[in-house]
A and B are shown apart, each in its own frame.
Chain A
């Protein structure tokens, strides 16, 4: 892949995000929040793809790292009163960074002891880790325990969401598209051979975990400051699964595919919700003829996943060549 203009593309993405952010007041607030969810989904899925897709480790605890970032950044910004726009964005950036770094530290802590484990075993341990985070938060009275934590400032905007999504994509793509980064895929393909070829496989796996967790923490910060209310329950096992599904659906180790999957899977439930809300439809006498879609929304979502996986096991947006090797 030609990656010569990567930095230019990154700058362009920032520019577009900034312009979009300035025009945000013209966008329907409902859609604005859907856009935030899409951006956050992209950050989560692309960062998880580094761990699960490229490096071939199976993490089920990505929402746990997100929780760390969300709570750390929220606790920091909650110390601030009303600030000017400039100061607010500065503090927000620092809070997001702090959230990301805390999550990265958590990633390091989980990464090191679990590196001997592979496949299913690693999945169980990361799952356990995610649950530990959730239960810890549930019992920390300072951050509202199970009642949840109100986040005072809704500082998330299009610039931060998509600007940081662009950074995530850049970092992951720049890593794996370098000679150094091909090592992640080598570890995925054959760990024994990778070690014999001089790759420090432990270091590669820890790096994947730390970088992945860092961006999950940032996504957590964006999430907290968009919803303005976070509960430990919001970062449970099911959340982690959602991101894993995005990675698998997009095609393991295919960044573009994973981005598209994150967009699709965020829009799908919203789309079904909108269909259910249609008041009248030609040929139907009943009021809200598609309202059943509302109740069965999640079933349809799940069915679609099953159909998609049967039809495109290599991932929705992957060419056959990139299919995971059995």
Chain B
């Protein structure tokens, strides 16, 4: 069985700058992998390659054995890769409920005509969607905010809602882009617990981009370290922590 996500020598250049260079990366089903590196190492660029925001200059990207190079971001999401953003990007004026509900169009059987005709099937489908949205919100203790506009939530709740929204796409791979950004120590502990919980409850693979070493060391089962677009180390937290290259990259020579 092929790996869930596989990058083969994925490279992207912006003019003379090679942001990500020949990156090999494999993520298996249900795995929790962390991608770390100092600022400007190419972590978010690697993320954007996987989600189709950027196209690789060379190299290949496979999801579940099939190439996803050249596909639009929305198609890649439909295939089972969902993401969150470094600087939260919710739908601010939509309610908490609608933020999640919007994503359920991926699982709709009907299309526009369904919505216009509003027959029995339509109402039944909308009802089951509402139920599933509420279930998801309840799991993450967001049910009580269902009718509030997303922008009125606290920072931590917005982060959580963004993750719930991504989960609504029923992904097999969840990409989290610096989820700990702007969080205090208590919130980070909470987040660690949340990420583990998601992996176990939903049985999905998670790729985490983060530069908070402590958080990563706490949850990453496998850690990939990027520096200047090149993979300099890969392994368990202990291995990575002891790797002289990693120490050099983070602390300077």
Contacts and interface: CB of A to CB of B under 8 A. Distances in A.
Interface of A: 3-4, 6-7, 171, 174-175, 178-183, 185-186, 188-190, 192-201, 207, 321-322, 324-325
B94 A201 contact: no
A196 B85 CA distance: 10
A190 B90 contact: yes
Contact of A178 (B72, B92, B115, B149): B115
A182 B91 CA distance: 10
Given A179-B129, A186-B102, A198 B115 contact: no
Interface residues of B, number: 40
B93 A180 contact: no
Contacts of B165: 197
B13 interface: no
B74 to A, nearest CB: 5
A325 B102 contact: no
B89 A180 contact: no
A207 B116 CA distance: 13
A193 B115 CA distance: 23
A198 B92 contact: no
Contacts of A188: 93
Contacts of A322: 93
A207 B111 CA distance: 12
A171 B78 CA distance: 27
6 contacts: A171-B116, A179-B129, A194-B91, A195-B72, A197-B166, A325-B92
B196 interface: no
Nearest to A323: B93
B60 to A, nearest CB: 22
B118 A190 contact: no
B91 A186 contact: yes
B32 to A, nearest CB: 21
Interface of B: 51, 72-74, 77-78, 82-83, 85, 89-94, 98, 101-106, 108, 110-112, 114-116, 118, 122-123, 125-126, 129, 149, 151, 165-166, 169
B115 A199 contact: no
Given A186-B102, A198-B169, A181 B115 contact: yes
Given A174-B115, A180-B114, A193 B89 contact: yes
Nearest to B99: A186
B82 to A, nearest CB: 7
Nearest to B112: A180
Contacts of B118: 3, 6-7, 174
B93 A185 contact: yes
A198 B106 contact: yes
A175 B114 CA distance: 10
A210 to B, nearest CB: 11
Contacts of A201: 74
Contacts, number: 105
Nearest to A199: B74
B89 A198 contact: no
A6 B115 CA distance: 11
A174 to B, nearest CB: 5
A126 to B, nearest CB: 23
Contact of B102 (A4, A7, A195, A199): A199
B240 to A, nearest CB: 29
- For B72, B103, B108, B123, the residue with the greatest tally of chain A CB atoms inside 10 Å of its CB is B103
Contacts of A195: 72-74
Given A3-B118, A189-B94, A325-B151, 7 more contacts: A178-B114, A185-B98, A190-B89, A193-B85, A193-B89, A197-B74, A321-B149
Contact of A182 (B74, B98, B123): B98
- For A171, A196, A324, the residue with the greatest tally of chain B CB atoms inside 10 Å of its CB is A196
Nearest to B98: A182
A301 to B, nearest CB: 30
A104 B85 CA distance: 36
A156 B121 CA distance: 37
A178 B126 contact: yes
Contacts of A6: 118
Given A174-B118, A182-B98, A207-B112, A198 B105 contact: yes
A128 to B, nearest CB: 28
B155 to A, nearest CB: 17
A194 B93 CA distance: 13
B89 A179 contact: no
A171 B106 CA distance: 22
B91 A180 contact: no
B74 A200 contact: yes
By Cβ-Cβ distance, the 9 closest A-B pairs, closest first, are A178-B115, A198-B77, A189-B91, A193-B89, A182-B102, A325-B93, A198-B106, A186-B102, A195-B73
B116 A174 contact: yes
Contact of B101 (A175, A179, A189, A207): A179
Contacts of A4: 123
B90 A197 contact: no
A44 B32 CA distance: 53
A179 B126 contact: yes
A322 B125 CA distance: 27
